[in-house]
Structure 1
Amino acid sequence: MASSHLLCNTFPFQTSCNLSSKSNTSSFKPRRSFSFCQKVQFRRTPVVKATRKQVELVYDPDEKLNKLADEVDKQAPLSRLTLFSPCKVNVFLRITSKREDGYHDLASLFHVISLGDVIKFSLSPSKSIDRLSTNVSGVPLTGDNLIIKALNLYRKKTGTDNHFWIHLDKKVPTGAGLGGGSSNAATALWAANQFSGCLATEKELQEWSSEIGSDIPFFFSHGAAYCTGRGEIVQDIPSPVPSGIPMVLMKPPQACSTAEVYKRFQLDKTSQADPLTLLEKISMNGISQDVCINDLEPPAFEVLPSLKRLKQRIAAAGRGQYDAVFMSGSGSTIVGIGSPDPPQFIYDDDEYQDVFVSEANFLAREANKWYQQPASTTCSSPPEFSRSAE
């Protein structure tokens, strides 16, 4: 290969600058010799032959949606929001009377707990439709879902036209008496209000929510409330129990239909305990078996006899382990207060291999903030879902 070399001469010099107050002259004195030599090589450039390349086009719908969401991000102050949607337990549940409209009046201590779903909201360019997705099957994704009902309700009340992409990461089983669907609706109302610059007060959101569900208003409390009426009359109270008390939730795969439970309910066979007295006892002495009364247990056990047997076995095996064992809401979750662990037979018996198990704690929220997701909540198995919307 041809090449040429360029040689440089050696120049001995040193540059220095000494400024004297007596003279404006500059002197340069050599100290060391420097040799500069540059070697330049010229090489032939290889010829590259053009070849035909195969181009593969891939359509990625998720990427397209993300790009659309990014476009919305640039135009709106808030375009995405991820919120925790916790469920609840009824520490006690008294049914006090039957109303003329066919509903029953109740008196209950509701308390939010640390088991919950995660809901991601993204502002949609659409002004006509919401799109809901979820990680499980069996959850309605259309207007029957309480999330969509809540968003429609907010738009109706405020005149706003925001629509959303929503992803529901479901952890709370349905048909469990834990109010998971009601919590989702309350969370959606809170989210819609944030996207609209908080046009409504929390009190207004709470009042509006009773139009689509009796348990929804409770979640606008700060975590603990004494609820009466159909459940929509919410008296926000300081938590009467320490947040650190552990509990375990155990739900068989079978769900209890609330309608069926109330159909079998007999008012004359309920407890006669005064609900305010129960609340006072819990505030003074904590949770014990004698205050955890649920008037819906007998009819629920008629609907699902295996649930009665499960509760009896848990209570017997958990003596000394649990402060109280009770059913939440209309079932079918059995709650053990005082330990995060289920009895050993839940793991050992084949009959209970499909039981949903989760540890939990009582949870509250700060004023003007939504519920914060705890660091971790352990579930032994994914929840099973029925077709009914909770």
Structure 2
Amino acid sequence: MMASSHLLAHHFWLSHANGFKPPKLSKNGPCYFHPKTAFRGSPSSHRIKASGPTSGRRQMEIVYDPDERVNKLADEVDKNAGLSRLSLFSPCKVNVFLRITGKREDGFHELASLFHVISLGDTIKFSLSPTKTRDRLSTNVPGVPLDDKNLIIKALNLYRKKTGTDNFFWIHLDKKVPTGAGLGGGSSNAATALWAANQFSGCVATEKELQEWSGEIGSDVPFFFSNGAAYCTGRGEVVQDIPNPLPSDLPMVLIKPQEACSTAEVYKRLRLDQTSSVDPLTLLREVTQNGICQDVCINDLEPPAFEVLPSLKKLKKRVLAAGCGEYRAVFMSGSGSTIVGVGSPEPPSFIYDDDDYNDVFVSEACFLTRQESQWYTAPTSSTASFGTDLPSGAASVE
């Protein structure tokens, strides 16, 4: 066997000389293995023969297949690893038009609105908690509730109730969307939390189930399980997808004063006999066929919101006057207090020059949709960069 051993070593050396190298294991997470792709383009197997000098002696052939061995190992690691961390984009929305068509017996109002996701959003990071007792939420913005008053915690509690799963999380909310803005930032956070919890649990619920459950958290939450653009009716929970009604490269600017509008106070001042008489389906048809313009951007909540916050009415008028020819439409989103100018990412110059607007929130954005079975992703183009950040700070609770 000495001759065979020498010959085996000789053939092994020749294989090295011809380009074959044994795999090197590299660190990847808690295990040490070579990534699957390391052998892409390399031979699928290497044959090494060894035999003695005497004719007729038995030959020994070794077949070494690094692809098969390493791929099996990687598959086993992937199967057992599970998801432990997840970072998701949580975008907000605008109401391109918002009609209030009546009041329901349960006290809610009937609405008909074209909702559209936009590129301004928060980032939420989820990590599995080693304990099975409670969620822990932290954020970069002071004043945001960190207990079960926060819609993220409500969403996680709801998911556990509906599915019987017992995952708890450490969550960090990097807040970019201002509160009290009519942009649905909290509703988006809730929808994102439901999506995340489902990913950690192996997607035991369908998207349709998540959408149905989310209506128990808030009227705007089901919308975020659409493709990003939807005609919403009822309280807002009846969601009909509208495929790409507006181009994603159409820029806009968001301008929000420090003062917020109380949604309850806005609806309290709403007078149904003073709302628009235009059929919302006519508005929807106009947007989908001809795009966005000032005439279709009707918001029945503007008059009561302007009563609650008179300075908001002044802001809209000034943006309209200063942006004549620059913006296709200027309107308030939701119940306020954000004014949206569609057509340019730049605010009017008075926002920078007038001391009355030193503390306003300003951000550029664009329309955004998502792919089926995927969550929203933050765009990387310049048209979706963010303007003024919210005040920095930190808070957490255990």
TM-score normalised by the chain length of structure 2: 0.77
Structure 1: which amino acid aligns with 2:97?
F
1:76, distance to aligned residue in structure 2 (A): 4.7
1:379, distance to aligned residue in structure 2 (A): 3.2
From 179, 188, 191, the equivalent of 1:186 is 191
Equivalent residue number for residue 44 of structure 1: none
Structure 2: which amino acid aligns with 1:379?
F
Equivalent residue number for residue 131 of structure 2: 126
Q: Note if contact 1:253-1:384 (Cα within 8 Å) is conserved in structure 2.
A: no
Equivalent residue number for residue 115 of structure 1: 120
The structure whose Rg is larger is: 1
Task: Evaluate the alpha carbon distance shift between residue 134 and residue 70 of structure 1 in structure 2; reply closer, same or farther with a 3 A threshold.
Answer: farther
Structure 2: which amino acid aligns with 1:284?
Q
Structure 2: which amino acid aligns with 1:223?
G
For structure 1, which runs of at least 5 residues remain unmatched after alignment? Answer: 1-68, 386-390
Structure 1 distance, partners of 2:255, 2:179, is 13
1:243 aligns with 2:248: yes
Equivalent residue number for residue 175 of structure 1: 180
1:374, distance to aligned residue in structure 2 (A): 1.1
Which structure: greater helix fraction? 2
1:328 aligns with 2:294: no
Structure 1: which amino acid aligns with 2:273?
D
Equivalent residue number for residue 266 of structure 2: 261
Equivalent residue number for residue 291 of structure 2: 286
1:225 aligns with 2:217: no
TM-score normalised by the chain length of structure 1: 0.79
Task: Evaluate the alpha carbon distance shift between residue 136 and residue 195 of structure 1 in structure 2; reply closer, same or farther with a 3 A threshold.
Answer: same
1:163 aligns with 2:168: yes
The runs of at least 4 aligned residues of structure 1 exceeding 3 Å deviation read 73-76, 376-380
From 251, 268, 276, the equivalent of 1:271 is 276
Equivalent residue number for residue 201 of structure 1: 206
1:75, distance to aligned residue in structure 2 (A): 7.3
From 327, 343, 360, the equivalent of 2:365 is 360
Structure 1 distance, partners of 2:310, 2:237, is 30
Equivalent residue number for residue 36 of structure 1: none
SS in 2 for 1:360: strand
Structure 1 distance, partners of 2:377, 2:256, is 24
1:383 aligns with 2:390: yes
Q: Deviations over 1:41-94 (max 9, x none)?
A: xxxxxxxxxxxxxxxxxxxxxxxxxxxx989x9975100000000000000000
Equivalent residue number for residue 48 of structure 2: none
1:360, distance to aligned residue in structure 2 (A): 0.3
Structure 1 distance, partners of 2:213, 2:93, is 20
Structure 2 distance, partners of 1:76, 1:160, is 18
1:381, distance to aligned residue in structure 2 (A): 1.9
CA-based RMSD of the aligned residues comes to 1.7
Structure 1 distance, partners of 2:79, 2:221, is 34
Higher deviation after alignment, 375-384 or 314-323: 375-384
Structure 2 distance, partners of 1:77, 1:165, is 17
Q: Deviations over 1:10-36 (max 9, x none)?
A: xxxxxxxxxxxxxxxxxxxxxxxxxxx
Equivalent residue number for residue 310 of structure 2: 305
SS in 2 for 1:253: coil
Structure 2 distance, partners of 1:289, 1:380, is 24
Q: Note if contact 1:186-1:219 (Cα within 8 Å) is conserved in structure 2.
A: yes
Structure 2: which amino acid aligns with 1:169?
D
Structure 1 distance, partners of 2:306, 2:195, is 36
Structure 2: which amino acid aligns with 1:97?
G
1:234, distance to aligned residue in structure 2 (A): 0.3
Structure 1 distance, partners of 2:387, 2:342, is 18
Task: Evaluate the alpha carbon distance shift between residue 288 and residue 384 of structure 1 in structure 2; reply closer, same or farther with a 3 A threshold.
Answer: farther
1:301, distance to aligned residue in structure 2 (A): 0.1
Please list, as runs of the form range in 1=range in 2, the aligned pairs for 1:141-156 lying within 5 A after superposition. 141-156=146-161
Q: Note if contact 1:109-1:225 (Cα within 8 Å) is conserved in structure 2.
A: yes
Structure 1: which amino acid aligns with 2:245?
P
From 74, 79, 88, the equivalent of 2:84 is 79
**Count of aligned positions:** 316
Structure 1 distance, partners of 2:314, 2:259, is 13
SS in 1 for 2:118: strand
Structure 2 distance, partners of 1:194, 1:133, is 21
From 89, 96, 104, the equivalent of 2:94 is 89
Structure 2: which amino acid aligns with 1:291?
V
Q: Deviations over 1:295-343 (max 9, x none)?
A: 0000000000000000000000000100000000000000000000000
Equivalent residue number for residue 15 of structure 1: none
Structure 1 distance, partners of 2:239, 2:314, is 33
Q: Deviations over 1:185-231 (max 9, x none)?
A: 00000000000000000000000000010000000000000000000
Q: Note if contact 1:174-1:384 (Cα within 8 Å) is conserved in structure 2.
A: no
Task: Evaluate the alpha carbon distance shift between residue 161 and residue 291 of structure 1 in structure 2; reply closer, same or farther with a 3 A threshold.
Answer: same
Task: Evaluate the alpha carbon distance shift between residue 257 and residue 382 of structure 1 in structure 2; reply closer, same or farther with a 3 A threshold.
Answer: same
From 320, 330, 344, the equivalent of 1:315 is 320
1:378, distance to aligned residue in structure 2 (A): 3.2
Structure 1 distance, partners of 2:240, 2:79, is 41
Structure 1 distance, partners of 2:233, 2:276, is 16
Structure 1 distance, partners of 2:390, 2:278, is 34
Q: Note if contact 2:365-2:386 (Cα within 8 Å) is conserved in structure 1.
A: no
Structure 2: which amino acid aligns with 1:306?
S
1:126, distance to aligned residue in structure 2 (A): 1.1
Structure 2 distance, partners of 1:380, 1:248, is 9
For structure 2, which runs of at least 5 residues remain unmatched after alignment? Answer: 1-28, 32-77, 393-398
